[in-house]
A and B are shown apart, each in its own frame.
Chain A
Amino acid sequence: MDSALILQARNLTKRYGANIIFQDISLDVQKGETIVIIGPSGTGKSTLLRCLNLLTHVDSGQIFLEGEEITAPGINEDRVRQQIGMVFQNFLLFNHLTALDNVMLGLTKVRKLPKPQAHEKAMHELARVGLADRAGHYPGQLSGGQQQRVAIARALAMDPKVMLFDEPTSALDPELIGEVLGVMAQLARENMTMLVVTHEMGFAREVADRIVFMEKGHIVEQGAPDDLFERPQHARTREFLWKITELYGKKEKK
């Protein structure tokens, strides 16, 4: 992994009215790095991801993508979003389009590729998530796991510099989680830069280069998975990891 800085968040603060969602968050993401963000619900993890690709705007602070400030006034936000892929908890596939057309839409309308090239690229991305044989299926004809893999292919088709995953397996039946995590682990091996919000501790431990523990709108602690899991510095981190591992373990036994 080269250590080029690709995404940089500096002192980000987000409020909704008097409610502070997160405050003074700074985070450096290296190219090819997989970062897993963990923490209790309502801690601002999802909002942080949405701020990073400008779906929501921070109240203060700066975000840099490859050195360019994307929070600067007058920036072309559509061009920025095109370079940052996002995968959502509830898949959000375009329901009126087949898997293939879901992946092709951004290629033809945003990147303006001619149809044959867009088709070829889209089929390549579907094959990458193991769904080339489902290209003609509508979202309603796919399982949750398949829908989420199509959503990953749709994001990958734009050749993003960074991929954001917002609890990508939280809405899935337990037996479908594996196929999605498998695709994500494969992306990490291919050195895709990834920020993943998840409660899947097994994935975090095995795939992440760095784990960030967030609570109440702050980054409490971050570090390599082994350090964080074996030697957490803060009592809150320890407590959270213990609770979630307990929960995760119970789910496994079922």
Chain B
Amino acid sequence: MLTDFFLYIAQGTAVTIGVTLVALPFGLAVGLLLALLYNYGGRWVSRAAGLYSLLMRGVPPVVLLFILYFILSGRLINLSPFWAGSLSLGLVSSAYQMEILRGALAAVGAGQMTAARAIGLTRLQAIRFVILPQAIRLAIPPWSNEASIVLKDSSLVYALGVPEILRRAQQLSATTGQPFLAFGAAALIYFALVFLTNRALDSLAERTKLPTQPV
């Protein structure tokens, strides 16, 4: 009975991980593009990217999720709840990831661009081979934070009927009358996932750290 109980919630874990694995990389791709446009795109493009970020970050994620969901699963585009929910979550995250990346790009400093152009690299080559590899290193710690937020916010797609951890916990709580056990199990799984994600990204940051000590 108890194993069935846990098994039922654990099956939602795969869905939660699935939602995160769609939302996070999608948000990264959009966020990176926007960060590059913001930093290197000229005045109007930069302003447009800034406005996007401002709007997306100024509204609660769950409200945006509903709006985007009804666009993505509407008459024009008709995606399944899983895909519509995951991509919506990704778009919400893209604004936050953009902020992380544009800060990291700026932190690399204008001098690196100057030095790259001085040996004849084009702007795009300079961004690709000189600026980005350094910016991404700087972005890993704040990005790790955003990754755990997306992982936890994936519980919001529960409202769209996607059978992830929280929705299953809710169902179990209702059918078994054991809310503490049901939501406690959900909390435990979320915690474990966030913990593992942060640990993995910490170790990535450690492994890509640039040496500064004399050899």
| Chain B residues numbered 102-125 whose CB sits less than 8 Å from any CB in chain A | 111-112, 114-122, 125
Q: CB distance B210 to A95 under 8 Å?
A: yes
Q: CB distance B118 to A94 under 8 Å?
A: no
Neighbour of A110 across the interface among B121, B133, B134, CB < 8 A: B121
For A106, list chain B residues within 8 Å (CB): 119-121
**Residue on B nearest A87 in the bound complex, by CB:** B118
Asked if B152 is at the interface of the complex by the 8 Å CB criterion, the answer is no
For B111, list chain A residues within 8 Å (CB): 88, 90, 92
Could you give, for residues 135-158 of chain A, a 1 whenever the CB lies within 8 Å of some chain B CB and a 0 otherwise?
001101100000000010011001
Asked if B57 is at the interface of the complex by the 8 Å CB criterion, the answer is no
Q: How far is the CB of A141 from chain B (nearest CB, A)?
A: 6
Q: CB distance B215 to A81 under 8 Å?
A: no
Neighbour of A94 across the interface among B116, B117, B211, CB < 8 A: B116
Bound-state CA distance A138–B30 (Å) is 32
For A94, list chain B residues within 8 Å (CB): 112, 115-116, 130, 134
For A78, list chain B residues within 8 Å (CB): 117, 120-122
Q: How far is the CB of A129 from chain B (nearest CB, A)?
A: 16
What total of chain A residues lie within 8 Å of the partner, measured CB to CB? 27
Q: CB distance A55 to B211 under 8 Å?
A: no
Q: CB distance A138 to B114 under 8 Å?
A: no
Bound-state CA distance A138–B215 (Å) is 10
Neighbour of B129 across the interface among A81, A93, A105, CB < 8 A: A105
For B212, list chain A residues within 8 Å (CB): 138, 140-141
Q: How far is the CB of B214 from chain A (nearest CB, A)?
A: 6
For A105, list chain B residues within 8 Å (CB): 119, 121, 129-130
**Residue on A nearest B125 in the bound complex, by CB:** A109
For A82, list chain B residues within 8 Å (CB): 119-120
**Residue on B nearest A110 in the bound complex, by CB:** B120
Q: CB distance A92 to B115 under 8 Å?
A: yes
Asked if A79 is at the interface of the complex by the 8 Å CB criterion, the answer is yes
- Known contacts A109-B129, A137-B215; A158/B210 CB under 8 A: no
Name 6 A/B residue pairs within 8 A (Cβ), A-sorted. A55-B114, A81-B117, A88-B118, A110-B125, A137-B215, A140-B211
Q: Please give the residue numbers on chain A whose beta carbons come within 8 Å of chain B beta carbons, in ascending order.
A: 53, 55, 78-79, 81-82, 85-86, 88, 90, 92-96, 105-106, 109-110, 137-138, 140-141, 151, 154-155, 158
13 further A-B pairs in the complex, CB-CB below 8 A; given A88-B114, A140-B210: A78-B121, A78-B122, A86-B118, A92-B111, A95-B112, A95-B134, A96-B130, A96-B133, A96-B137, A105-B129, A109-B125, A138-B210, A138-B212
